[in-house]
Copies of this chain bind each other. A is one copy, B any other.
Amino acid sequence: MTRTPDDATVAAWIGIARAQRGAVSRVELRLKAAGLPPLAWYDVLWELEKAGEEGLRPYALEKAMLFEQYNLSRLVDRLEKAGLVARRACLEDRRGHRLMITEAGLAERRLMWDAYAAAIEREIGARLTLSEARTLAALLAKLE
């Protein structure tokens, strides 16, 4: 039975929706202003960097990033065209591929992190205390 949400629930929702168009888009703007690729590129590069030598298959990346499959497919196209990611044949399952980050991808990921970290610090770190940030992270984790 879905009840009508109470005011606090609606206020939390509005906060999430506005954070999206506020803080998230300001971070995105800072990356762009620095001549860097969008956030989604960072996420892919970072997942692949963590995956190491063996890379990741698209469906695994999809899960990690909460992305739709068709969405990811063209995102990887762009990363591949930019030389940051490589598609390799997958021997165990010939339906799929393995995705690996390239040397250039590793370098780009590090470069992006400098601007990205500064933007996160401005948007979050400068506005919340340590303990507020911890609380926020814990509450948002409940919405997963």
Contacts and interface: CB of A to CB of B under 8 A. Distances in A.
Interface of A: 2-6, 8-25, 39, 65-67, 117-118, 120-125, 127-128, 130-137, 139-144
Given A66-B21, A144-B18, A13 B124 contact: yes
B140 A123 contact: no
A120 B18 contact: no
B124 A9 contact: yes
Interface centre among A10, A24, A67, A136 (most CB of B within 10 A): A136
Interface of A is mostly: helix
Nearest to A2: B118
Contacts of A133: 6, 8-9, 11-12
A143 B23 contact: yes
14 contacts: A5-B120, A8-B133, A11-B133, A11-B137, A12-B133, A16-B24, A17-B39, A21-B65, A21-B66, A124-B143, A127-B143, A128-B139, A128-B143, A139-B139
A13 B140 CA distance: 10
A126 to B, nearest CB: 8
B143 A22 contact: yes
